[in-house]
Structure 1
Amino acid sequence: MAKFRYVYTTFWNDPRVVEEMTAEDKYFFLYLLTNESTTQIGIYPITKKQIAFDMGYSMESAGALLQRFRDHHELIKYNEDTREIAIKNWGKYNLNRGGKPILDCVRSELKLVKDTSLIQWVGEGIPNDSVRNVYESYYDTSTISGQKEKENKKEKENKKEKQTTEGEVGQSLVTEEQLVFLTKFYDENIQRASGYICECIEHMAHENDPALVYEAMKITALQQPNKPMQYTERILANWRKDFVTNVDQLKAREEREKNQRHQSSQSSYQKQNGRTEVVPEWFANRRAKIIS
Structure 2
Amino acid sequence: MAKYRHVHTEFWQDPKVLEEMTPEDRYFYLYLLTNPKTSQIGIYSITKKQMAFDLGYSIESINSLMERFLKHHKLVEYNPASREIAIIKWGKYNLTKAGKPMLDCIEKELRQVKDQSLINLVFPYIPNDSIKQLFLRYVNDTSTISGQKEKEKEKEKENNILSGKPDDAASEKDEIPYKLIIDLLNKVAGTKYRHTASKTRTLIKARWSEGNRFDDFKHVILVKCQEWRNSDMDKYLRPETLFGTKFENYRNQKPKGGQSHDRNIHQRPGGKGQGRVITEDDIPY
Q: More helix per residue: 1 or 2?
A: 1
Q: Is the aligned partner of 1:162 residue 2:202?
A: no
- Counterpart in 2 of 1:253? none
Structure 1 counterpart of 2:119: 119
The DSSP-based 3-state class of the residue aligned with 1:85 is strand
Query: 2: CA distance between counterparts of 1:52 and 1:176?
Result: 33
Where structure 2 has 5 or more consecutive residues not aligned to the other structure, the ranges are: 154-177, 180-194, 212-285
> SS in structure 2 opposite 1:25?
helix
Unaligned runs of 5+ in 1: 166-174, 178-292
Moved more, 118-127 or 68-77: 118-127
Deviation string 1:237-287 (CA, Å, 9 cap, x unpaired) is: xxxxxxxxxxxxxxxxxxxxxxxxxxxxxxxxxxxxxxxxxxxxxxxxxxx
- The number of residue pairs the alignment matches comes to 166
Deviation at 1:120, TM superposition (A): 1.2
Q: Does the 8 A contact of 2:123 with 2:139 survive in 1?
A: no
Q: 1:34 to 1:164 in 2, by over 3 A?
A: farther
1:129 aligns with 2:129: yes
In our comparison, the structure showing a higher alpha carbon Rg is: 1
Displacement of 1:144 in angstroms is 10
Aligned residue type for 2:112 = L
**Helix, strand or coil at the partner of 1:44:** strand
Distance 1:125 1:107 in 2: 17
- 2:244 corresponds in structure 1 to none
Per-residue CA deviation, residues 87-127 of structure 1 (Å, 9 max, x unaligned), is 01111111111111111000111111001110111012111
CA-CA distance at 1:146 after TM superposition: 5.7
Secondary structure at the counterpart of residue 3 of structure 2: coil
Question: What percent identity do the matched residue pairs reach?
Answer: 57
Contact 2:86 2:118 in 1 (8 A): yes
| Residue of structure 2 equivalent to 1:25 | 25
CA distance in 2, matches of 1:27, 1:21: 10
Give the distance between the partners of 1:131 and 1:21, measured in 2 at CA: 30
Shift of 1:163: 2.8
In structure 2, the residue matched to 1:283 is none
Is 1:44 matched with 2:84? no
Alpha-carbon separation, structure 1, partners of 2:34 and 2:65: 16
| Alpha-carbon distance between aligned partners in 1 of 2:114 and 2:197, rounded to the nearest angstrom | 26
**1:117–1:9 Cα change, 3 Å:** same
Matches within 5 A, 1:249-264: none
- Cα separation, partners in 2 of 1:9 and 1:47, compared to 1, 3 Å: same
Please tell me the residue identity of whatever aligns with 1:11: F
Q: Measured at CA, do residues 94 and 21 of structure 1 come closer, stay the same or move farther in structure 2, by a change above 3 Å?
A: same
Amino acid at match of 2:206: Q
Q: State the alpha-carbon separation in 2 of the partners of residues 61 and 118 from structure 1.
A: 24
In the alignment, structure 1 residue 60 sits paired with structure 2 residue 60: yes
Instruction: Supply the AA of the counterpart residue of 2:76.
Output: I
C-alpha distance in 2 between matches for 1:17 and 1:101: 32
1:164 Cα deviation from its structure 2 partner:
6.4
Distance change (3 Å), C-alpha of 1:63 and 1:100:
same
3-state SS of paired residue (1:40)? coil
Partner in structure 1 of residue 242 of structure 2: none
Give the alignment's TM-score, normalised by structure 1. Answer: 0.51
Shift of 1:139: 2.9
AA matched with 2:94:
N
Q: Secondary structure at the match of 1:124?
A: helix
User: Residues of 2 paired with 1:144 and 1:6: CA distance?
Assistant: 33
- Name the aligned partner's letter for residue 75 of structure 2: L
Alignment of 1:1-292 (within 5 A): 2-140=2-140, 143=144, 156=196, 159=201, 162-163=205-206, 175=209
Query: In 2, Cα distance between the equivalents of 1:36 and 1:90?
Result: 15
Letter in 2 for 1:35: N
> Structure 1 runs of 4+ off > 6 angstroms?
none
Between the aligned partners of 2:122 and 2:27, the Cα distance in structure 1 is: 22
Q: SS at 1:111's partner residue?
A: helix
Q: Is the 8 A contact 2:92 2:127 kept in 1?
A: yes
Q: Secondary structure at the match of 2:86?
A: strand
Q: Identify if the C-alpha distance between structure 1 residues 6 and 162 changes in structure 2 by more than 3 Å, giving closer, same or farther.
A: farther
